């Protein structure tokens, strides 16, 4: 090394060899960066030293150097994060003219002192001849730990100062905004839920909630007249237009050309409808009913019995269906009881459409928007939808949702026409309940879509709020109001995630509080549990994991109050949407209690509860548990007719959809495509 000195036959004072070594657990890259950034050691020297330390744990950097130089080297390299050892060496000391220097460098306190007759250091009181290697090691470790604690304390102090500064800035900013709002005559009512997404131009959460629920007076039973009396006036059209200006000017496209702007259907070779029609999906052309009959036959072949026959789909765990189900329509089912018909009962049109809509939404959420639009188009052309206005309204709803998912995927110059078309079409729905649902869900989807201004999402939520007040039926208003709250919670959670990525932690924690406050406004248990699931996710994003057990316990207590095992199962499935839940011991205990309650039931109630639990495990990516509960559904006695068909259709179709979602989320795209193709074969 450059600091190494040649042996000198005559030196003044004692000489030392200097050794450096890497402390246990330390990283050379960190040591190098600290030495360079703090200017402790020249760059060329530290680089050479690091290269040598990569090959050997201990390096000699100084040979027979004086005490002063050895002390300096020890200070510098210790400050850089290395451990330094000084080894005294024998050397010839030149005679000084003033006589012999009788001072001794104490190894304990490292001071030069005049030793007593007992060779005791007068400075620290240590007998120098009794200083051992263990004593020196302990002293060195004490110094290192003291330095570590001082560094940690400094970091904690700095972090505390940063948090306090952010809190002061947030409070000062709110005060300034209130003053400006008063100066310019803007609505400056204090929000019971804090700031919404950091958007100063938005009306605030209280305005949204106050309009929908009479400013905290939601009782679930007040008349539309009373609710409307408590509703602040909605945003004027210029305000909505101003929000939409973030996406460009209206002249960039016409609102009516959304069908052309959103990109249309998939390429012919990627078409699910064409593949299903030509029998190219998995080599089979089974309808849902045929798949149910085939699954019954397959289960009956291995001795599983139900009230009508064998139920449940075979196949790999985590899949609702089976690639081996090729039984012909109307084939006999082994193991039937009570003389039941061997063919599966027809699937009710509304239940079939619910599965179709679930499939279209899943495709849109996975980013397969052309295919989602293709599915919606095929549903609209179906004879059942064409003949039933209620079914047609459901298809219109999912069509608007798919178009909302398409906005973020469209070029920036074409987003404004798409949003204008969504606003026009959703606002034109004649039924106020359908109109509110459409506007609220579009707001939530746009809020969850990356790259879109928050003001646009807020504008749709405001429109939904105003539409909610026109629902006269109390029960319907409660149900739709719950969906509105969930849409608002989804938007807040999405903004919380965005703010966390920017490091705006004061805002993230405020948003977490906002989400939790929505729970108290829930008009029913389902809404409350869905909001609690969002709240749990918000607590995780905000780094408030310590609050999760108590909030999870409150959610489970609410679920336990449900008398119906089917309702309890549905609520547990909603709650499991939060990733923090399914593996928690409290949640597992709740599932065990549900199983015990379901086992005490017979027939459809038991089958429905177990089917919901099976699909819950499919949702969270637990294929083994899904398969286990699917088998228990197959073994349930007393299920027949359309109920049997619906139960097994849910296991087959929804199970495959959930598996496709999970596989897509882990980028197993080929495996997800196999599930998608199979579902398309059943439904299209």
What does the alpha-carbon distance between residue 39 and residue 309 come to, in Å, rounded to a whole number? Answer: 80
- Is-contact 162 168, C-beta < 8 A? no
CA dist 461 → 432, 440, 453, 467 (Å): 14, 5, 14, 10
Q: Provide the Cα torsion 476, 479, 485, 489; round to 10°.
A: -150
Q: How far is CA 243 from the centre of its chain?
A: 28
* H/E segment holding residue 390: helix 389-409
Sign of the alpha-carbon torsion through 510, 449, 415, 354: negative
Give pLDDT, residue 315. 33
N-to-C CA span, the chain:
77
What does the alpha-carbon distance between residue 607 and residue 308 come to, in Å, rounded to a whole number? Answer: 13
Sign of the alpha-carbon torsion through 504, 509, 510, 511: positive
The listed range with the strongest mean pLDDT (115-119, 304-308, 327-331, 635-639) is 115-119
pLDDT at 567 over 70: yes
Three-state secondary-structure class, residue 60:
strand
What does the alpha-carbon distance between residue 63 and residue 610 come to, in Å, rounded to a whole number? Answer: 78
Strand residues in 436-540 grouped as ranges (E): none
Q: Is residue 8 classed exposed, middle or buried when 0-12, 13-18 and 19+ CB atoms within 10 A define those classes? A: middle
Q: Is residue 564 classed exposed, middle or buried when 0-12, 13-18 and 19+ CB atoms within 10 A define those classes? A: middle
pLDDT at 200 over 60: no
Split at pLDDT 50, 70, 90, the class of 453 is confident
- Is-contact 237 385, C-beta < 8 A? no
User: Mean pLDDT lowest for which of 75-79, 154-158, 487-491, 548-552?
Assistant: 154-158
* H/E segment holding residue 18: strand 15-21
What does the alpha-carbon distance between residue 153 and residue 251 come to, in Å, rounded to a whole number? Answer: 58
pLDDT one-digit tens code per residue, 390-417? 888 889 999 999 999 988 888 887 888 8
Query: What length is written for the chain?
Result: 684
Split at pLDDT 50, 70, 90, the class of 91 is low
* Closest to 59 (Cα-Cα) out of 134, 2, 140: 2
* Cross-strand partners of 104: 113
pLDDT at 307 over 50: no
| pLDDT > 70 in the chain, percent | 75
The listed range with the strongest mean pLDDT (76-90, 422-436, 634-648) is 422-436
Three-state secondary-structure class, residue 372:
helix
The listed range with the strongest mean pLDDT (88-97, 320-329, 540-549) is 540-549
Give pLDDT, residue 528. 92
**What is the average pLDDT value for the chain, to the nearest integer?**
76
Number of other residues whose CB lies within 10 A of the CB of residue 39: 8
Q: Is residue 9 classed exposed, middle or buried when 0-12, 13-18 and 19+ CB atoms within 10 A define those classes? A: exposed
Three-state secondary-structure class, residue 105:
strand
* Residue 418 CB contacts under 8 Å (≥ 6 apart), including other chains: 253, 258, 261, 262, 403, 406, 407, 410
- Is-contact 515 495, C-beta < 8 A? no
Three-state secondary-structure class, residue 66:
strand
- Is-contact 511 538, C-beta < 8 A? yes
| pLDDT > 90 in the chain, percent | 11
* Residue 679 CB contacts under 8 Å (≥ 6 apart), including other chains: 321, 359, 653, 656, 657, 660
Give pLDDT, residue 301. 52
CA dist 294 → 37, 304, 340, 656 (Å): 70, 13, 16, 16
Give pLDDT, residue 311. 33
């Amino acid at each position: 090394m450059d600091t190494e000195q040649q042996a000198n036959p005559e030196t003044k004072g004692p000489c030392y060899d200097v050794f450096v070594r890497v402390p246990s657990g330390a990283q050379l890259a960190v040591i190098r960066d600290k030495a360079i950034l703090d200017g402790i050691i020249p760059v060329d020297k530290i680089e050479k030293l690091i290269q040598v330390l990569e090959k050997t744990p201990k390096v000699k950097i100084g040979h027979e150097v004086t005490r002063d130089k050895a002390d300096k080297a020890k200070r510098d390299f210790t400050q850089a994060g290395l451990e330094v050892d000084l080894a005294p060496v024998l050397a010839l000391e030149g005679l000084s003219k003033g006589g012999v220097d009788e001072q001794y460098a104490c190894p304990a306190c490292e001071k030069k002192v005049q030793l007593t007759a007992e060779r005791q250091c007068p400075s620290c009181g240590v007998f120098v001849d009794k200083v051992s290697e263990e004593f020196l090691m302990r002293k060195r470790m004490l110094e290192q730990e003291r330095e570590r604690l001082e560094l940690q304390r400094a970091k904690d102090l700095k972090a505390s100062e940063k948090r306090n500064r952010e809190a002061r800035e947030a409070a000062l900013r709110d005060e300034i905004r209130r003053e400006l709002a008063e100066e310019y005559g803007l609505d400056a009512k204090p929000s019971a839920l804090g700031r919404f997404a950091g958007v100063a131009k938005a009306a605030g959460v209280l305005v949204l909630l106050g309009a929908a629920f009479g400013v905290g007076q939601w009782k679930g039973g007040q008349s539309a007249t009373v609710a409307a009396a408590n509703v602040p006036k909605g945003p004027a059209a210029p305000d909505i237009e101003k929000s939409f200006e973030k996406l460009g000017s209206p002249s960039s496209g016409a609102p009516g050309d959304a069908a052309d702007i959103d990109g249309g259907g998939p390429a012919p070779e990627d078409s699910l409808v064409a593949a299903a029609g030509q029998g190219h999906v998995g080599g089979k052309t089974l309808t849902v009913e045929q798949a149910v009959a085939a699954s019954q036959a397959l289960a009956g072949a291995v001795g599983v019995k139900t009230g009508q026959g064998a139920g449940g789909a075979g196949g790999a765990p985590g899949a609702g269906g089976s690639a081996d189900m090729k039984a012909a329509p109307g084939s006999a089912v082994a193991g039937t009881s009570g003389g039941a018909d061997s063919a599966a009962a027809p699937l009710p049109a509304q239940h079939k459409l619910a599965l179709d809509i679930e499939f279209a939404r899943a495709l849109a959420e996975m980013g397969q928007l052309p295919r989602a639009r293709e599915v919606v188009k095929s549903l609209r052309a179906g004879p059942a939808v064409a003949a039933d206005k209620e079914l047609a309204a459901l298809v219109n709803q999912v069509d608007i949702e798919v178009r909302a998912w398409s906005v973020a995927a469209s070029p920036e110059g074409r987003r404004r026409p798409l949003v204008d078309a969504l606003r026009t079409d959703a606002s034109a729905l004649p039924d106020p309940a359908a109109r509110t649902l459409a506007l609220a869900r579009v707001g939530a989807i746009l809020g969850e879509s990356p790259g879109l201004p928050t003001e646009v999402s807020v504008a749709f939520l405001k429109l939904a709020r105003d539409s909610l007040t026109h629902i006269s039926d109390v029960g319907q208003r409660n149900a739709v109001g719950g969906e509105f709250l969930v849409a608002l919670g989804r938007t807040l959670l999405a903004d919380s995630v965005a703010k966390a990525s920017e490091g705006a932690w004061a805002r993230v924690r405020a948003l977490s509080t906002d989400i939790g406050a929505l729970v108290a406004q829930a008009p029913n248990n389902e809404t409350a549990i869905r909001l609690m699931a969002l709240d749990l996710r918000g607590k995780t994003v905000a780094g408030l994991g310590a609050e999760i057990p108590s909030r999870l316990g409150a959610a489970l207590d609410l679920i336990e109050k449900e008398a119906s095992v089917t309702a309890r199962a549905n609520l547990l499935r909603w709650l499991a949407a939060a990733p923090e839940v399914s593996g928690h011991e409290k949640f597992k205990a709740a599932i065990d209690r549900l199983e015990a309650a379901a086992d005490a039931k017979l027939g459809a109630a038991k089958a429905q509860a177990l089917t919901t639990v099976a699909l819950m495990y499919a949702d969270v990516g637990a294929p083994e548990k899904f398969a286990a509960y699917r088998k228990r559904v197959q073994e349930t006695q007393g299920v027949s007719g359309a109920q049997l068909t619906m139960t097994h259709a849910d296991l087959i179709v929804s199970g495959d959809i959930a598996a496709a979602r999970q596989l897509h989320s882990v980028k197993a795209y080929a495996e997800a495509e196999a599930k998608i193709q199979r579902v398309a074969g059943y439904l299209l």
